[in-house]
Amino acid sequence: MRKKRSEQLVEFDIADRFAGKISAIWVQMAFGLFCFLFAVLARAVVDAIWTSAGPFSLIYPAILISTLYGRWASGLTTFLLAFLHAWYVVLPMPYSFSFEIAGDGARTIVNGCAALFILLFAEIFRRGISVATLERDRQLKMTKILIQELEHRTKNNFAMVSGLLNMQSRDHHSQDVKQALKLASSRVNSFSAIHDSIYSSRDFQEELDVSDYLNSLCESLRKAFASNANIKITLSAASYRMSRDKAVALGLILNEIVTNAIKHAFPDQREGTIHISFTADPQQPWILSISDNGCGIKKRKTKSSKSKSESSASSAKPAVKKANKRGLGTRLIKTFARNLDAKMETKSFETGTIFTLTEILDKGSE
Protein backbone atom coordinates (compact mmCIF):
# COMPACT_ATOMS: atom_id res chain seq x y z
CA MET A 1 0.00 0.00 0.00
CA ARG A 2 1.42 3.36 -1.01
CA LYS A 3 2.05 5.92 1.69
CA LYS A 4 0.43 9.32 1.56
CA ARG A 5 2.60 12.36 0.92
CA SER A 6 2.05 13.56 4.48
CA GLU A 7 3.31 10.22 5.85
CA GLN A 8 6.33 10.33 3.55
CA LEU A 9 7.12 13.85 4.72
CA VAL A 10 6.89 12.90 8.41
CA GLU A 11 9.09 9.80 7.98
CA PHE A 12 11.69 11.41 5.70
CA ASP A 13 15.30 11.11 6.95
CA ILE A 14 18.15 12.52 4.86
CA ALA A 15 20.67 10.10 6.39
CA ASP A 16 18.51 7.07 5.53
CA ARG A 17 18.08 8.35 1.99
CA PHE A 18 21.85 8.20 1.37
CA ALA A 19 22.53 5.17 3.60
CA GLY A 20 25.29 2.96 2.21
CA LYS A 21 26.52 5.62 -0.22
CA ILE A 22 27.99 8.31 2.04
CA SER A 23 28.90 8.31 5.72
CA ALA A 24 25.86 9.35 7.80
CA ILE A 25 27.73 12.07 9.72
CA TRP A 26 28.89 13.74 6.50
CA VAL A 27 25.37 13.65 5.10
CA GLN A 28 24.01 15.25 8.29
CA MET A 29 26.65 18.00 8.31
CA ALA A 30 26.05 18.71 4.61
CA PHE A 31 22.30 18.99 5.22
CA GLY A 32 23.00 21.31 8.19
CA LEU A 33 25.13 23.50 5.90
CA PHE A 34 22.36 23.55 3.31
CA CYS A 35 19.79 24.67 5.90
CA PHE A 36 22.18 27.38 7.09
CA LEU A 37 22.71 28.70 3.53
CA PHE A 38 18.96 28.65 2.93
CA ALA A 39 18.44 30.67 6.14
CA VAL A 40 21.07 33.22 5.01
CA LEU A 41 19.37 33.56 1.62
CA ALA A 42 15.96 33.96 3.24
CA ARG A 43 17.48 36.53 5.59
CA ALA A 44 18.78 38.55 2.63
CA VAL A 45 15.31 38.56 1.08
CA VAL A 46 13.70 39.65 4.35
CA ASP A 47 16.31 42.43 4.85
CA ALA A 48 15.46 43.78 1.41
CA ILE A 49 11.83 44.22 2.55
CA TRP A 50 11.95 44.72 6.33
CA THR A 51 15.33 46.01 7.44
CA SER A 52 14.35 46.11 11.10
CA ALA A 53 13.62 42.36 11.42
CA GLY A 54 15.39 40.57 14.28
CA PRO A 55 18.80 39.05 13.49
CA PHE A 56 17.88 35.62 14.90
CA SER A 57 14.31 35.36 13.57
CA LEU A 58 14.98 32.90 10.71
CA ILE A 59 17.53 30.79 12.57
CA TYR A 60 14.92 28.91 14.60
CA PRO A 61 12.92 27.37 11.70
CA ALA A 62 16.22 26.48 9.99
CA ILE A 63 17.42 24.61 13.11
CA LEU A 64 14.01 22.92 13.52
CA ILE A 65 13.91 21.65 9.91
CA SER A 66 17.57 20.65 9.99
CA THR A 67 17.08 18.56 13.15
CA LEU A 68 13.78 16.91 12.12
CA TYR A 69 15.05 15.72 8.74
CA GLY A 70 18.81 15.52 9.32
CA ARG A 71 19.10 14.41 12.99
CA TRP A 72 20.86 16.19 15.85
CA ALA A 73 24.26 16.55 14.10
CA SER A 74 22.62 18.41 11.25
CA GLY A 75 20.70 20.68 13.65
CA LEU A 76 23.86 21.39 15.63
CA THR A 77 25.74 22.28 12.42
CA THR A 78 22.99 24.71 11.42
CA PHE A 79 22.93 26.17 14.95
CA LEU A 80 26.68 26.86 15.12
CA LEU A 81 26.97 28.29 11.61
CA ALA A 82 23.81 30.43 11.91
CA PHE A 83 24.71 31.94 15.29
CA LEU A 84 28.30 32.63 14.33
CA HIS A 85 27.04 34.29 11.16
CA ALA A 86 24.46 36.39 13.03
CA TRP A 87 27.00 37.35 15.67
CA TYR A 88 29.81 38.21 13.24
CA VAL A 89 27.86 39.68 10.27
CA VAL A 90 24.38 40.77 11.33
CA LEU A 91 24.76 42.20 14.83
CA PRO A 92 26.40 45.57 15.27
CA MET A 93 29.30 45.98 14.86
CA PRO A 94 29.38 44.00 11.54
CA TYR A 95 32.31 41.67 10.73
CA SER A 96 33.43 41.67 14.34
CA PHE A 97 32.70 39.55 17.40
CA SER A 98 32.56 42.70 19.51
CA PHE A 99 29.18 44.06 20.56
CA GLU A 100 28.41 47.69 19.81
CA ILE A 101 25.47 47.61 22.21
CA ALA A 102 26.21 46.28 25.69
CA GLY A 103 22.97 44.27 25.91
CA ASP A 104 23.59 42.33 22.69
CA GLY A 105 25.82 39.82 24.48
CA ALA A 106 23.08 38.72 26.89
CA ARG A 107 20.53 38.73 24.06
CA THR A 108 22.77 36.45 21.99
CA ILE A 109 23.16 34.00 24.89
CA VAL A 110 19.40 33.89 25.51
CA ASN A 111 18.65 33.32 21.81
CA GLY A 112 21.31 30.63 21.68
CA CYS A 113 19.77 28.79 24.64
CA ALA A 114 16.32 29.03 23.03
CA ALA A 115 17.70 27.58 19.79
CA LEU A 116 19.36 24.71 21.69
CA PHE A 117 16.01 23.93 23.38
CA ILE A 118 14.37 23.80 19.94
CA LEU A 119 17.13 21.47 18.74
CA LEU A 120 16.75 19.20 21.79
CA PHE A 121 12.96 18.85 21.60
CA ALA A 122 13.03 18.46 17.80
CA GLU A 123 15.49 15.56 18.22
CA ILE A 124 13.29 13.97 20.93
CA PHE A 125 10.24 14.30 18.66
CA ARG A 126 12.15 12.90 15.66
CA ARG A 127 13.31 9.86 17.63
CA GLY A 128 9.78 9.28 18.89
CA ILE A 129 8.46 9.30 15.33
CA SER A 130 11.27 6.96 14.26
CA VAL A 131 10.52 4.47 17.03
CA ALA A 132 6.78 4.59 16.31
CA THR A 133 7.42 4.03 12.59
CA LEU A 134 9.67 1.04 13.25
CA GLU A 135 7.07 -0.45 15.60
CA ARG A 136 4.32 0.10 13.04
CA ASP A 137 6.39 -1.55 10.31
CA ARG A 138 7.13 -4.48 12.62
CA GLN A 139 3.44 -4.94 13.39
CA LEU A 140 2.52 -4.70 9.70
CA LYS A 141 5.12 -7.33 8.86
CA MET A 142 3.80 -9.61 11.60
CA THR A 143 0.22 -9.06 10.42
CA LYS A 144 1.24 -9.92 6.86
CA ILE A 145 2.86 -13.15 8.05
CA LEU A 146 -0.27 -14.08 10.05
CA ILE A 147 -2.52 -13.35 7.06
CA GLN A 148 -0.34 -15.50 4.80
CA GLU A 149 -0.50 -18.33 7.34
CA LEU A 150 -4.29 -17.97 7.53
CA GLU A 151 -4.56 -18.00 3.74
CA HIS A 152 -2.40 -21.13 3.60
CA ARG A 153 -4.54 -22.91 6.18
CA THR A 154 -7.76 -21.82 4.45
CA LYS A 155 -6.49 -23.14 1.12
CA ASN A 156 -5.58 -26.47 2.76
CA ASN A 157 -9.04 -26.67 4.35
CA PHE A 158 -10.70 -26.16 0.97
CA ALA A 159 -8.54 -28.92 -0.52
CA MET A 160 -9.32 -31.26 2.39
CA VAL A 161 -13.10 -30.73 2.12
CA SER A 162 -12.99 -31.22 -1.65
CA GLY A 163 -10.93 -34.40 -1.24
CA LEU A 164 -13.35 -35.82 1.35
CA LEU A 165 -16.31 -35.16 -0.93
CA ASN A 166 -14.56 -36.86 -3.84
CA MET A 167 -13.70 -39.90 -1.67
CA GLN A 168 -17.30 -40.09 -0.45
CA SER A 169 -18.63 -39.94 -4.01
CA ARG A 170 -16.43 -42.88 -5.04
CA ASP A 171 -17.78 -45.00 -2.16
CA HIS A 172 -21.45 -44.54 -3.16
CA HIS A 173 -23.19 -46.71 -5.73
CA SER A 174 -26.05 -44.27 -6.35
CA GLN A 175 -25.41 -42.06 -9.37
CA ASP A 176 -27.61 -39.31 -7.91
CA VAL A 177 -25.53 -39.22 -4.73
CA LYS A 178 -22.30 -39.26 -6.73
CA GLN A 179 -23.49 -36.37 -8.90
CA ALA A 180 -24.58 -34.34 -5.85
CA LEU A 181 -21.23 -34.89 -4.11
CA LYS A 182 -19.29 -34.00 -7.25
CA LEU A 183 -21.33 -30.80 -7.60
CA ALA A 184 -20.63 -29.93 -3.96
CA SER A 185 -16.92 -30.58 -4.57
CA SER A 186 -17.05 -28.31 -7.61
CA ARG A 187 -18.54 -25.51 -5.51
CA VAL A 188 -15.84 -25.94 -2.89
CA ASN A 189 -13.20 -25.76 -5.63
CA SER A 190 -14.88 -22.59 -6.86
CA PHE A 191 -14.63 -21.01 -3.43
CA SER A 192 -10.97 -22.05 -3.32
CA ALA A 193 -10.27 -20.50 -6.73
CA ILE A 194 -12.02 -17.27 -5.75
CA HIS A 195 -10.09 -17.16 -2.48
CA ASP A 196 -6.79 -17.63 -4.31
CA SER A 197 -7.48 -14.95 -6.89
CA ILE A 198 -8.82 -12.38 -4.41
CA TYR A 199 -7.26 -12.82 -0.99
CA SER A 200 -3.80 -14.11 -1.91
CA SER A 201 -2.55 -10.91 -3.51
CA ARG A 202 0.53 -9.28 -1.99
CA ASP A 203 -1.01 -5.84 -1.80
CA PHE A 204 -4.43 -5.99 -0.14
CA GLN A 205 -6.96 -3.73 -1.80
CA GLU A 206 -10.64 -3.19 -1.20
CA GLU A 207 -11.31 -3.33 -4.94
CA LEU A 208 -9.93 -5.47 -7.73
CA ASP A 209 -9.92 -5.49 -11.51
CA VAL A 210 -12.77 -7.68 -12.79
CA SER A 211 -10.91 -8.49 -16.03
CA ASP A 212 -7.94 -10.05 -14.21
CA TYR A 213 -10.24 -11.75 -11.72
CA LEU A 214 -12.46 -13.38 -14.37
CA ASN A 215 -9.40 -14.50 -16.32
CA SER A 216 -8.10 -16.25 -13.21
CA LEU A 217 -11.46 -17.82 -12.49
CA CYS A 218 -11.92 -19.09 -16.07
CA GLU A 219 -8.45 -20.63 -15.97
CA SER A 220 -9.42 -22.46 -12.78
CA LEU A 221 -12.60 -23.76 -14.45
CA ARG A 222 -10.62 -24.98 -17.47
CA LYS A 223 -8.31 -26.92 -15.16
CA ALA A 224 -11.19 -28.31 -13.10
CA PHE A 225 -12.96 -29.61 -16.22
CA ALA A 226 -9.87 -30.58 -18.18
CA SER A 227 -11.48 -33.97 -18.94
CA ASN A 228 -14.21 -32.17 -20.93
CA ALA A 229 -11.86 -31.30 -23.78
CA ASN A 230 -14.81 -31.05 -26.17
CA ILE A 231 -15.98 -27.83 -24.47
CA LYS A 232 -14.14 -24.53 -24.81
CA ILE A 233 -14.44 -21.61 -22.38
CA THR A 234 -13.75 -18.18 -23.88
CA LEU A 235 -13.73 -14.78 -22.19
CA SER A 236 -13.83 -11.12 -23.15
CA ALA A 237 -13.86 -8.75 -20.18
CA ALA A 238 -13.49 -5.00 -19.87
CA SER A 239 -11.34 -3.47 -17.15
CA TYR A 240 -13.55 -2.47 -14.20
CA ARG A 241 -12.93 -1.95 -10.47
CA MET A 242 -15.31 -3.85 -8.17
CA SER A 243 -15.38 -4.40 -4.42
CA ARG A 244 -14.11 -7.76 -3.20
CA ASP A 245 -17.44 -8.80 -1.66
CA LYS A 246 -19.29 -8.20 -4.91
CA ALA A 247 -16.54 -9.91 -6.88
CA VAL A 248 -17.03 -13.05 -4.78
CA ALA A 249 -20.75 -13.10 -5.61
CA LEU A 250 -20.02 -12.48 -9.30
CA GLY A 251 -17.50 -15.33 -9.38
CA LEU A 252 -19.89 -17.77 -7.71
CA ILE A 253 -22.66 -16.95 -10.17
CA LEU A 254 -20.26 -17.50 -13.07
CA ASN A 255 -19.12 -20.80 -11.56
CA GLU A 256 -22.67 -22.09 -11.09
CA ILE A 257 -23.76 -21.25 -14.62
CA VAL A 258 -20.61 -22.51 -16.34
CA THR A 259 -20.50 -25.72 -14.28
CA ASN A 260 -24.16 -26.41 -15.07
CA ALA A 261 -23.59 -25.77 -18.78
CA ILE A 262 -20.57 -28.09 -18.93
CA LYS A 263 -22.52 -30.90 -17.26
CA HIS A 264 -25.87 -30.60 -19.03
CA ALA A 265 -25.70 -28.43 -22.18
CA PHE A 266 -23.51 -30.74 -24.24
CA PRO A 267 -24.82 -34.33 -24.04
CA ASP A 268 -23.16 -37.27 -25.78
CA GLN A 269 -19.72 -35.58 -25.81
CA ARG A 270 -20.99 -32.88 -28.13
CA GLU A 271 -18.46 -30.18 -28.92
CA GLY A 272 -19.37 -26.67 -27.89
CA THR A 273 -18.30 -23.28 -26.60
CA ILE A 274 -19.18 -21.33 -23.47
CA HIS A 275 -18.50 -17.62 -23.95
CA ILE A 276 -18.28 -15.19 -21.05
CA SER A 277 -18.55 -11.47 -21.67
CA PHE A 278 -18.23 -8.62 -19.17
CA THR A 279 -18.86 -5.05 -20.32
CA ALA A 280 -18.71 -1.86 -18.28
CA ASP A 281 -19.07 1.64 -19.73
CA PRO A 282 -18.93 4.92 -17.79
CA GLN A 283 -22.33 5.98 -16.40
CA GLN A 284 -23.78 2.66 -17.60
CA PRO A 285 -24.52 -0.57 -15.69
CA TRP A 286 -22.03 -3.40 -16.01
CA ILE A 287 -23.30 -6.53 -17.77
CA LEU A 288 -22.15 -10.13 -17.37
CA SER A 289 -23.27 -12.40 -20.20
CA ILE A 290 -22.70 -16.18 -20.28
CA SER A 291 -23.79 -17.94 -23.46
CA ASP A 292 -23.40 -21.47 -24.81
CA ASN A 293 -24.28 -23.22 -28.05
CA GLY A 294 -25.60 -26.32 -26.30
CA CYS A 295 -28.97 -28.07 -26.36
CA GLY A 296 -30.99 -25.43 -24.49
CA ILE A 297 -32.64 -25.51 -21.08
CA LYS A 298 -35.79 -27.42 -22.16
CA LYS A 299 -33.78 -30.36 -23.41
CA ARG A 300 -31.64 -30.21 -20.29
CA LYS A 301 -34.77 -30.49 -18.13
CA THR A 302 -36.19 -33.28 -20.28
CA LYS A 303 -33.00 -35.25 -19.96
CA SER A 304 -32.84 -34.55 -16.22
CA SER A 305 -36.47 -35.59 -15.64
CA LYS A 306 -35.91 -38.84 -17.53
CA SER A 307 -32.93 -39.74 -15.40
CA LYS A 308 -34.85 -38.88 -12.23
CA SER A 309 -37.87 -40.99 -13.26
CA GLU A 310 -35.60 -43.92 -13.99
CA SER A 311 -33.91 -43.64 -10.61
CA SER A 312 -37.25 -43.22 -8.78
CA ALA A 313 -38.69 -46.26 -10.55
CA SER A 314 -35.84 -48.40 -9.26
CA SER A 315 -36.38 -47.12 -5.72
CA ALA A 316 -38.85 -48.94 -3.48
CA LYS A 317 -39.41 -46.05 -1.04
CA PRO A 318 -42.12 -43.51 -1.93
CA ALA A 319 -41.29 -39.81 -1.89
CA VAL A 320 -42.37 -38.12 1.33
CA LYS A 321 -42.07 -34.51 0.12
CA LYS A 322 -42.35 -32.85 -3.23
CA ALA A 323 -39.05 -31.96 -4.77
CA ASN A 324 -38.32 -28.30 -4.78
CA LYS A 325 -38.92 -26.90 -8.23
CA ARG A 326 -35.87 -24.70 -7.88
CA GLY A 327 -32.54 -26.43 -7.62
CA LEU A 328 -29.88 -25.33 -5.18
CA GLY A 329 -27.84 -23.80 -8.00
CA THR A 330 -30.76 -21.63 -9.10
CA ARG A 331 -31.39 -20.43 -5.55
CA LEU A 332 -27.71 -19.63 -5.09
CA ILE A 333 -27.65 -17.62 -8.31
CA LYS A 334 -30.70 -15.59 -7.28
CA THR A 335 -29.23 -14.95 -3.82
CA PHE A 336 -25.87 -13.83 -5.22
CA ALA A 337 -27.63 -11.63 -7.80
CA ARG A 338 -29.43 -9.82 -4.98
CA ASN A 339 -26.11 -9.33 -3.19
CA LEU A 340 -24.76 -7.78 -6.37
CA ASP A 341 -27.79 -5.46 -6.79
CA ALA A 342 -28.28 -7.01 -10.21
CA LYS A 343 -31.05 -8.74 -12.15
CA MET A 344 -30.76 -12.05 -13.99
CA GLU A 345 -32.38 -12.80 -17.35
CA THR A 346 -32.33 -16.17 -19.11
CA LYS A 347 -33.03 -16.81 -22.79
CA SER A 348 -33.01 -20.36 -24.11
CA PHE A 349 -33.13 -21.51 -27.72
CA GLU A 350 -32.66 -24.81 -29.49
CA THR A 351 -29.16 -23.65 -30.34
CA GLY A 352 -28.13 -22.63 -26.86
CA THR A 353 -28.77 -20.51 -23.78
CA ILE A 354 -27.86 -16.95 -22.77
CA PHE A 355 -27.68 -15.81 -19.15
CA THR A 356 -27.46 -12.04 -18.65
CA LEU A 357 -26.70 -10.40 -15.31
CA THR A 358 -27.20 -6.61 -15.33
CA GLU A 359 -26.36 -4.16 -12.57
CA ILE A 360 -29.31 -2.19 -11.19
CA LEU A 361 -28.39 1.49 -11.03
CA ASP A 362 -31.78 2.87 -10.06
CA LYS A 363 -32.71 0.63 -7.13
CA GLY A 364 -35.86 2.59 -6.40
CA SER A 365 -37.41 1.53 -9.68
CA GLU A 366 -37.09 -2.15 -8.83
The CATH number of the domain where 269 resides is what?
Answer: 3.30.565.10
Do 120 and 223 lie in one domain? The reply is no
Q: Rounded to the nearest 5 degrees, what angle is found at the Cα of 121, between the Cα atoms of 116 and 124?
A: 130
Do 349 and 254 lie in one domain? The reply is yes
Do 25 and 126 lie in one domain? The reply is yes
The pLDDT of residue 139 is 92
Do 108 and 22 lie in one domain? The reply is yes
Residue where a domain stops, chosen among 121, 138, 155: 138
Cα–Cα dist 245/206, whole Å: 9
Domain that holds residue 70: 5-138
Q: Is residue 147 part of a domain?
A: no
Do 130 and 232 lie in one domain? The reply is no
Counted residue by residue, the chain has a size of: 366
Do 124 and 220 lie in one domain? The reply is no
Q: Is residue 149 part of a domain?
A: no
Rounded to two decimals, the pTM is 0.57
The pLDDT of residue 364 is 55
Q: Is residue 55 part of a domain?
A: yes
Assess contact for 232 and 274: CB atoms under 8 A.
yes
Do 106 and 240 lie in one domain? The reply is no
Q: Is residue 196 part of a domain?
A: no
Do 11 and 101 lie in one domain? The reply is yes
Cα–Cα dist 113/121, whole Å: 12
Would you tell me how many other CB atoms lie within 10 Å of the CB of residue 14?
20
The pLDDT of residue 356 is 95
Cα–Cα dist 349/296, whole Å: 6
Assess contact for 60 and 86: CB atoms under 8 A.
no
Residue where a domain stops, chosen among 123, 138, 153: 138
Q: Is residue 164 part of a domain?
A: no
Rg (CA), the chain: 36
Do 132 and 213 lie in one domain? The reply is no
The pLDDT of residue 44 is 79
Do 132 and 212 lie in one domain? The reply is no
Do 132 and 229 lie in one domain? The reply is no
Q: Which residues contact 276 (CB under 8 A, 6 or more apart)?
A: 214, 218, 233, 234, 235, 236, 237, 254, 258, 288, 289, 290
Residue where a domain stops, chosen among 117, 138, 159: 138
Q: Is residue 352 part of a domain?
A: yes
Q: How many domains does the chain have?
A: 2
Do 106 and 213 lie in one domain? The reply is no
The pLDDT of residue 302 is 56
For residue range 78-128, what is the model confidence (pLDDT) as tens digits? 999 988 888 787 776 777 777 777 777 787 888 888 889 999 999 999 888
Q: For the chain, what is the HEC assignment?
A: CCCCHHHHHHHCCHHHHCCCCCCHHHHHHHHHHHHHHHHHHHHHHHHHHCCCCCCCCCHHHHHHHHHHHHHHHHHHHHHHHHHHHHHHHHCCCCCCCCCCCCCHHHHHHHHHHHHHHHHHHHHHHHHHHHHHHHHHHHHHHHHHHHHHHHHHHHHHHHHHHHHHHHHHHHHCCCHHHHHHHHHHHHHHHHHHHHHHHHHCCCCCCCEEEHHHHHHHHHHHHHHHCCCCCCEEEEEEECCCEEEHHHHHHHHHHHHHHHHHHHHHCCHHHCCEEEEEEEECCCCCCCEEEEEECCCCHHHHHHHHHHHHHHHHHCCCCCCCCCCCCCCHHHHHHHHHHHHCCEEEEEEEECCEEEEEEEECCCHHHC
**Per-block average pLDDT, block size 10, for the chain (366 residues)?**
63 77 84 88 78 70 89 90 82 73 79 89 89 89 85 85 85 81 77 70 71 87 81 93 87 89 86 94 90 79 51 42 56 89 90 92 61
Cα–Cα dist 277/218, whole Å: 12
Pairing of strands 352-359, 342-349: antiparallel
Q: Is residue 178 part of a domain?
A: no
Cα–Cα dist 97/333, whole Å: 87
The pLDDT of residue 320 is 34
Q: Is residue 200 part of a domain?
A: no
